Every structure is written in structure tokens, then in C-alpha cells.
Structure 1
Amino acid sequence: MEKMIFVNLPVRDLAAATLFYEALGGTRNPNFSDEQTSCMIFSGAIGVMLLTHARYATFTSRPIGDARTESQTLIALSVEARDEVDQTVEKAARAGGKADPNPMQDHGFMYSRSVEDPDGYVWEILWMDQAAAAGGPPGE
């Protein structure tokens, strides 16, 4: 069985977060979604669980941090073509995100931009030329 990754994120406004993650390329799975949760599927191996603060608090006793003021994680999501990086960031920004909270990166064989969701979580959208990347970073 292929290993799967589920990123669990506490969100302030479930409807707004769901709209943003649909624009980012996710599909809401109704079988694992309810009034407090949206399960967003990005591939057969990647899911993002959007949880209201009340639902998230049932999984941990730790306080919920504010991703808008503190860096917690950078999550990267790959796309198949270089121009898809720009298209995805722009679409997500139109759906309530903030384009380019971090500097754009262009290394020739790899290109990425970032987009911040309504709760402050930063996603890097990246394209990598797999043939060029197979040789490792330039200079090695």
C-alpha cells in the first residue's frame, strides 16, 4: 500500500478555507467532510484536513498557533509544468489567498512561488525539471 500524507490544519472559517484549497487544486471528499471538517484530496497519496478550531482541539491539548504571525511550516506542492506554478498561485490568490508572501525562487531546473491561505499557512507551488534534477543541484 502506498503511504499517504494527511496535513491537518486548524482554520478559522471552514467555507473560506475550502474555497481556497479547491482553487489550489484540491477536491473536497464528502465522505470525510462535515460541518467542522473538509477533507481536501490532492492525489491518491496527499490529503489536507481542514478542521475548525473546535474540531482541531479534540486532537491536541496544545494551543493553536497563529500562522499569520509565526512560521510553523512550509509545505510544497508540485505541479507538472512551469507555467502551472503561476496559474495556481494566481487562482489561489483570487480565492482569498495572498500571492508571494515569500520570494519567488528560479533555479532554472526548479521554479517556485508561494501563496498564503486565509489562515496564514504558506504553500510553495513548485515545478521541477525531473531530468535536470536527477543530476542533483548545480555545482555538485
Structure 2
Amino acid sequence: MKQQIILNLPVKDLEKSRAFFAALGFTFNDRYSGENAAFMHIVGDTIQAMLTTESFFASLIDKPVVQAKEANEVVICLSCDSRGEVDALIAKAVAAGGRTPHPPEDHGFMYDQGFEDLDGHLWNLVWSAPEA
């Protein structure tokens, strides 16, 4: 059986969030998208995110929806093929309206930096040297 990981993320404005992630180069599957959700490919067809309106997300759970700009439960970490890819994706995120919560960290064998999306979800981009 082919396994998938699907992250469900509540967003305030679905169209703005979709445009933000499209500006970073992520693609969407309109077959599984609609007025309350957008199905986004993160890594091929095995890791995706379902961006959902906050009201739809709330209908799926029995607890309050956390406001990611106020508190975080998770940091989504994506590996990159190079330092340049980390920097390029960070630049795209900032240009699309995101922000960087900290400067890049260069450990020689590993390089990373994160960005906060429009709703405050944290994404960390990391490159590690193959020998590491």
C-alpha cells in the first residue's frame, strides 16, 4: 500500500493562502479542492497539505482552532537539495507575504532557515551535506 502524509492546516483566507504557496512553486490538485479546501502537493504525490478554511477545519475537531500567529504546535520541516534552494524558497516566501522568524543558521554540514506563512504556520527549510 502506498502511504501518504496529508497535513491539514486551517487558513483565514483560502485564496490568499493558495496564491502564497503557488508563488513558492507548490501545485494543487483541483479534483480534491473546493470552496472550503485546497489540496496542495508538497513532495510529489506522497506528502500533501489540505489548506482548509478555519470554519471547515473547526467542523472536523472538537477543540478550539489554535491561532498559529499566537501559538504553535508543530514546525513543518522540508529538506532541500542545496543552500541555494533554501535561500530561494525563503526569498519567494517573503516576497509572497511571509516572514522569517530568525536568520539562517549555518552549521557547515547543515544550513537552515524558516518562514512563517500568512496564517502563522512555521515551515523550516534545511539542507544537509550528503556526508553528514
Contact 1:39–1:49 under 8 Å retained in 2: yes
Residues 3-57 of structure 1: per-residue CA shift (max 9 Å, x gap): 2111100000101111122233320110110011011002221101100012112
In structure 1, runs of 5+ residues without a counterpart are 134-140
Mapped partners of 2:102, 2:67: distance in 1 = 17
Matched, 1:126 2:126: yes
Residues 1-140 of structure 1 aligned to structure 2 (within 5 Å): 1-42=1-42, 43-98=44-99, 100-130=100-130, 132-133=131-132
Mapped partners of 1:2, 1:108: distance in 2 = 35
Mapped partners of 1:35, 1:49: distance in 2 = 12
SS in 1 for 2:62: coil
Larger radius of gyration: 1
* TM-score, L = length of structure 2: 0.92
Q: 1:93 deviation in Å?
A: 1.2
In structure 2, runs of 5+ residues without a counterpart are none
CA RMSD of aligned residues (A): 1.3
Aligned length: 131
